[in-house]
Amino acid sequence: MSERFYQEMFGGPDDDGDLIGADMPRVDGPPKADGSPVFAADHKLVNPLYVVPVTAPIPCGTLERVDTAEAETAPGVACVLTAKDIPGQKLYGMLMPDQPALVDKRIYSLQDVVAIVAADTLEQAEFAAGLVKMKTKALPAVFETQDALKDDAPIVQPEHPVAKGNVLTHLKIRKGDVEKGFAEADVVLENTYETQFIDHAYLEPDAGYVVPNPDGSITCTGPTQCPHMVRRVIAPVLGLGQNEIQFISTPPGGGFGGKEETSIEIAMRAGLVALKTRRPAIYNYTREESLGGKAKRVPAVVQHKIGAKKNGKITAMRIHIYLNKGPYAAVGPGIIKKLIIHSSGAYECDNVWADGYLVLTNNINTCAMRGLGVPQVHFAIESQMDELALSLEMDPFELRRLNGYKLGSSTATRQVLDQSVGYMDCLDKAEKALGPHPRENANGDGLLHGRGMAGFWYSTGAASPSDSCGAQVHVTDDGKVQVGVGIIELGQGSHTVLAQIAAEAMGVRFEDVRIMQVDTDAVPESGFTAGSRSTTIPGNAICEAIAEVRGILAPVAAEMLEGPAEDIAFKHGRVFIKSAPERSISFGEVVSQALLVGEQITGQGWFTTGPLTFNPETGEGRPFMVYSYGVQVADVAVDPDTGEVWVKRMVAAHDVGRAINPQGVIGQIQGGIEMGLGQALIEEIDVHEGRVLTPDLARYEIPVSMDTPEFTTIIVEEVNATGPYGAKGVGESSLVPTLAAISNAVRDAVGHRFTKLPITPESVAMAIHKGGVAV
């Protein structure tokens, strides 16, 4: 969809009306404020069964025998299911079937489910689960990425359909002559950066239930981020057609990527029970099961070498990235692709050599999480940029201005950035907002003060081969508008923004638009609620559907107003002739007349980006439609005795295209920064030989309100010609530079570069006392 389309159909950028750019109240705000939303675990069912898993006792080996006899005769037990009870395929997966629904022969991790027990009460199911006996044979396991890459390493999945040894995916970028680039450099820096396992730590633990229907179909209910994907993945396992599986999404209590895979696991295993027993099956994770068993943010090791001339111009980058995927693919190939594409940062460089390895291990599995791997590589490149600035005795803003992306820049994949590039504007506005360095206002407080900055770029939408979305718009006979789209309101405000887009495009009041509950039987396929695509991609699809509706109504209105159909306009609930706006009627009158003459006022929209390309051997291509850009600056204070770090202030300037709802954009930026603060300083899932040692929120710490810094949030609007009213993504990019900005600030405060996250008080105190930093 082009800028011309929007100008012709809905008016130009200066004629966006009252709703685009307005701080409209969240449509899901009042019920969340008064406690009205009913989450999946709150639903009451008639005669349900409760499902409890039995997991593997070893991280790698074979399952010799399972004895369920005692469990099956325990009080209240309806069934105990193992791999032999699966009616369809025994393997499943989001991108490829490489994960056992229930362990058949091979065990690949401690989180593998061997059996599921279903009983009348949760307590009975838990008791019976403890009665399941199994005999296993342990095999050599591998947990660390570098160990898994050794020639003599145990192969995690010897019969994997795609992996070569333990390498599931190896992607490359080859641009220019990297050796020549380093030879031309006056300064060359090389460091290795490491990030940790992180949990999504959403408020609502994973939950859901499945109800069998009289016709043999099932209805799955629960929080998800990919409703159509759920039924696509579980149908072959359950032996059903996709048309026999309905998924209804409940209001999620957070997602951040984690409720893609868990919604599949819950629907699949509860579905097995429901089909077997013909009773509703409830499968709710405890907090301990969620923290201890579900997939995490993938940890990364990034080896980064960068060269530059004395004037600061970057001449070459060599990057090696290793991701500890765990034993299964899931969306891992998408993570490594997005990660390597962004690995050279928002910087022009003629010579880039990058290798990205997605490595299988027997660790806990990993999955999508806000930013999809891009925060990890920005921690590396933006740390390198600050080290380069120090080596060159150059201002870090100036170094980034010299090398940063501008209109017409060529990326590492050789994509020419031909529109909506706001990085320079973000640098200028962030720097202007700073004020004095925090050391100047320390007033002898005994603390070490530092300031650090980081830039970023981040794609909108899914990567190659394309990104697509469907939407439908129906006008009821009272002139109200229903919008059906498979995007989940996770808390990011998408339903509010999409309602604003729909109301503006249709020319009706905001309160007359309703975004329908997501139900695969009622709304079209819209893809994942992920990838910062929830405004741009579905917004375009909705506008295409509305264009179809307007095409139905315009001739009717033209006849009523005695004017040409091409001169009909829709605005503020009125329909009028553009050349004679005083000749108008209400939107409802046009709807009534259209229905009277037999029109069905429904539009179908399908938006696709068209081909998106990425060559896995060279990296060459146009992998994304458009990118967001920005800069964050962190001011920190450090206690020199304890090493504790406080983030005092964050300045964030983000290019978001057109801000459809500015207050919502600000909320997304500040929320993402808070999340990034946790990864930079606090959070870490402690995993030992595949076992999670931090299975509760007493041991897995996350930021709280007392950790929230002062915010200065600046919206930069470089209109995106391919987005609805100029919008592009913001939800994930908000935390992409945060890790590096905070790390660079701590470096400025204590004089030591931290290359491993999180930056703990212990590591800071040790660095201070080793280096003898003066207060």
53: helix, strand or coil: strand
- Contact between 499 and 534 under an 8 Å Cβ cutoff? The reply is no
Counting beta carbons within 10 angstroms of the beta carbon of residue 688, is it exposed (0 to 12), middle (13 to 18) or buried (19 or more)? exposed
- Contact between 567 and 579 under an 8 Å Cβ cutoff? The reply is yes
Q: How far apart are alpha carbons 325 and 323 in whole angstroms?
A: 6
Structural tokens at position 725: 């009213």
Structural tokens at position 47: 């005669």
- Contact between 429 and 403 under an 8 Å Cβ cutoff? The reply is no
Find where tokens 């201070």 sit: 768
Q: How far apart are alpha carbons 272 and 278 in whole angstroms?
A: 10
DSSP bridge partners of 218: 212, 245
Find where tokens 């490594």 sit: 336
144 is catalytic: no
Q: What is the DSSP letter of 404?
A: B
- Contact between 504 and 661 under an 8 Å Cβ cutoff? The reply is no
Q: How far apart are alpha carbons 362 and 378 in whole angstroms?
A: 27
Structural tokens at position 165: 């040894």
**Measuring CA to CA, how many Å separate 119 from each of 274, 287, 334, 472, 501?**
12, 20, 38, 41, 47
- Contact between 117 and 51 under an 8 Å Cβ cutoff? The reply is yes
What would the 3-class secondary structure string for 690-747 be?
CEECCCCCCCCCCCCHHHCCEEEEEEECCCCCCCHHHECCCCCHHHCCHHHHHHHHHH
Q: How far apart are alpha carbons 497 and 21 in whole angstroms?
A: 10
- Contact between 624 and 416 under an 8 Å Cβ cutoff? The reply is no
* CA 519 centroid distance within chain: 21
Q: What is the DSSP letter of 347?
A: B
- Which residue out of 398, 489, 732, 762 is catalytically annotated? 732
**Measuring CA to CA, how many Å separate 747 from each of 268, 397, 448?**
47, 16, 11
Structural tokens at position 164: 């070569």
Q: How far apart are alpha carbons 497 and 474 in whole angstroms?
A: 18
Residue of 290, 256, 271 lying closest to 734 (CA atoms)? 256
Please, what sign has the CA dihedral across residues 233, 238, 241, 244? negative
Name the helix (H) or strand (E) containing 154: none
Structural tokens at position 437: 């360095």
Q: How far apart are alpha carbons 7 and 376 in whole angstroms?
A: 39
Active site residues: 732
